[in-house]
Amino acid sequence: MRFGIVVFPGSNCDRDMQDALQNDLNKEVLMLWHKDKDLSMFTTNDCIILPGGFSFGDYLRCGAIARFSPMMQSVIDFANKGGKVLGVCNGFQVLCESGLLPGALLSNGQQQFVCKNVFIKNEADGKALKIPVAHGDGLYFAEDQILNELEANKQVVFRYCDEMGNINAAANPNGAIRNIAGICNKERNVFGMMPHPERATTPALGNLDGKQVFHIFGMN
């Protein structure tokens, strides 16, 4: 699987993602500038990643301007053809703004930027993974009808939890509705999550749980 990482003005986790994929997961990575359009070097067996950061300074609304970058039009087409797309943190916000994923990311409930290790529960097997977060607008929100559809279709991939895997308000770092930390589309080829798996893939950081996240998304 080949990976493309889209770089927007204000992206600051693009190199972290590149390093994790190349050096920790031994993957081939191409960096993609947001003003370009060409994705012809990728097949639907490959993956495009929208990294974390502050695309376009988070002006107007997080991800709202990045959504109109030329490369995003190609990413939308790529996803609609079945190609895998992963958005992390700001990338998750871009996916929601572009309509590739439902819902929106709002300001954290406590109105403060949060940067720390948290635990997220893999809905498929109930296992708790330790993954860092770093965001000011990470509160996942959607109307009840959409939330119920996500639940019914098993599109909720991760929820914030405690170390033992228990879902509770104390383990929720941003007030996300139903403790949602990551979701996917109905076709299960577009994924978005607020925590940063690329920051948990090396023994140097004392955490390898991020590798399991990429495995869950079929990107191992």
Provide the b/e sequence for 17-47 (b: ≥16 CB within 10 Å): bbebbeebbebebeebebeebebeebeeebb
Q: What is the number of other CB atoms lying within 10 angstroms of the CB of residue 187?
A: 10
Extended beta strands in the chain, E state: 2-7, 28-33, 47-50, 84-88, 104-106, 114-122, 128-135, 139-141, 156-161, 180-184, 190-193
196 in catalytic set: yes
198 in catalytic set: yes
123 in catalytic set: no
Work out the angle at residue 182's Cα, subtended by the Cα atoms of residues 208 and 1, and round it to the nearest 5 degrees.
Answer: 60
Among 13, 47, 89, 184, the one annotated catalytic: 89
Residues involved in catalysis? 89, 196, 198
